[in-house]
Amino acid sequence: MNAIISASELASAAAGGNPPVLLDIRWQLSMPKADEPPFDGRATYEAGHIPGAVYVDLDRELASAPGARGRHPLPDPADFGAAMRRAGVSSGTPVVVYDGGLGWAAARAWWLLSWTGHPDVRVLDGGLPAWEGPLETSVPTPAEGDFEPAPGATALLDADGAAALARSGVLLDARAGERYRGEVEPIDPVGGHIPGAVSAPTNDNVGADGRFLPVEELQSRFKKMGAAEGAEVGVYCGSGVSAAHQVLALAVAGIPAALYVGSWSEWSSDPSRPVAVGPDPQ
């Protein structure tokens, strides 16, 4: 099954006999300025969303509290399951997730649902900007779902696993190139990358419209990095959000990949972990 769905396909599915549960994951990686309020995903959702969509808060429901395991550690499975059931998610019902267009937050929800065993979850390609149908402002109250998370359905890396994969397989760094090279680091305590990791900015997986590049172009892009079919592939980013989008792009290209959820925010907080800088994986 394709991991993404087009807006026209979603419109058809929503009008069909087994419409998907829709999850709105409006979220933004930002450091608010002193004179600006922080991004409010719920307020953005309430101002207009795809009819029937339920808002899910990435920071509170798709992650646990930040700490030694990174800025967006895995949520407790029981808490995540409860949040998904409140949103109407059931194992026998398809799920479509979307965000404001960047795709990172929706991919985080896609990855978590896939990792915990949901058999049918897809991301709206291009996010809300791709939707040509009506929007609504009313907040639905879905019937309680029955989804019970069973973690482990897809591959997961910890820090040691990521370090090992950088030597034995292909570890992709999904952050912007300047952060990979250590030229700037606006968030985490140290700049640079995991030794052996290959720079693979997530933004290069999509076109100007925010939709994924054609499959053949994605396959060619990843093949140049060594991430071809048959290779053992892993991905990390700053805190396990944009890397989920990279895992999604790899899935679209037919390449399974593991996610290092702790990512650079966990790695860089441990002074015993080595750090490489510059354009070469080292």
Q: What is the structure's pLDDT at 31?
A: 61
Q: What is the structure's pLDDT at 230?
A: 86
Average pLDDT over residues 105-123: 98
> Partners of 234 in the beta sheet?
171, 258
Q: What is the structure's pLDDT at 228?
A: 84
* pLDDT over 60 at 94, yes or no: yes
Average pLDDT over residues 146-154: 98
* pLDDT over 60 at 177, yes or no: yes
- What is the per-residue pLDDT across 24-54, written as a single tens digit (0 to 9) for each? 999 987 665 667 778 899 999 999 999 999 9
Nearest CA to 83 out of 102, 66, 59, 107 is that of: 59
Nearest CA to 82 out of 30, 33, 24, 149 is that of: 149
Higher pLDDT, 39 or 112: 112
Residues catalogued as catalytic: 237
Q: Indicate the SS3 state at residue 147.
A: coil
Q: What is the structure's pLDDT at 1?
A: 61
**DSSP labels, 169-192:** SEEEE-S-HHHHTTS--SSSSS-S
